[in-house]
Each structure stands twice: as structure tokens, then as C-alpha cells.
Amino acid sequence: MHEICKHEMNLALFFARNKFISIFANYVDLWKDMAFLLTNLINILVVVSYSQGDSNNHPNNLIHDRFWSPHLGNNMDISVE
């Protein structure tokens, strides 16, 4: 028990001296939430970036346009039926 208290005291002193590092150690839930939100944002950008372009519905052109010339949502027609 004495060693645990001593270790916690050393950690408290270390984080008191190093404010920048303490930001990462003290706000773990905040960093997890921010990582989750940024991951969702990146995934949304990836999904929106794949458009059909001017492929004239030819299968080879569709695949080429979707992979090699993303448009980030230009000319998007989203409908819910």
C-alpha cells in the first residue's frame, strides 16, 4: 500500500511539472471522443467523395471514376424513397 501511494505521489508531481503531458493523461475520455468524431468525419468524407462522374453508366468507366477521380459530393443526387 505504501508503494502505491508513493507511486501516485510521484505521478502527481510529474504531471504538475509537465502540464503538456498532463493534458493527455487527464483527459483520456475527451481524446477518445474526439478520435471517434474525427473518424466519423473522415468516413463521411470518403463515402461522399465517390461519385459516378461522367461515366455514361458504362461499368468500366464507373469503377474508374469512383476510384481515380473523386468529386467530394459534386453532382450528388440523394433521394429517399
Measured CA to CA, the distance from residue 66 to residue 74 in angstroms comes to 12
Is the pLDDT at 27 greater than 70? The verdict is: yes
Task: Specify the pTM.
Answer: 0.52
pLDDT at res. 75: 56
Is the pLDDT at 18 greater than 60? The verdict is: yes
Map residue 47 onto helix, strand or coil: helix
How distant is the alpha carbon of residue 17 from its chain centre? 31
Measured CA to CA, the distance from residue 53 to residue 64 in angstroms comes to 10
pLDDT at res. 7: 93
Considering only residues 69 and 9, tell me which one the structure prediction assigns the higher pLDDT.
9
Can you tell me the mean pLDDT for 22-41? 92
Can you tell me the mean pLDDT for 50-60? 61
Measured CA to CA, the distance from residue 13 to residue 8 in angstroms comes to 9
Angle between helices 19-26 and 28-49 in degrees, nearest 10: 70
User: Residue 3 corresponds to which amino acid?
Assistant: E
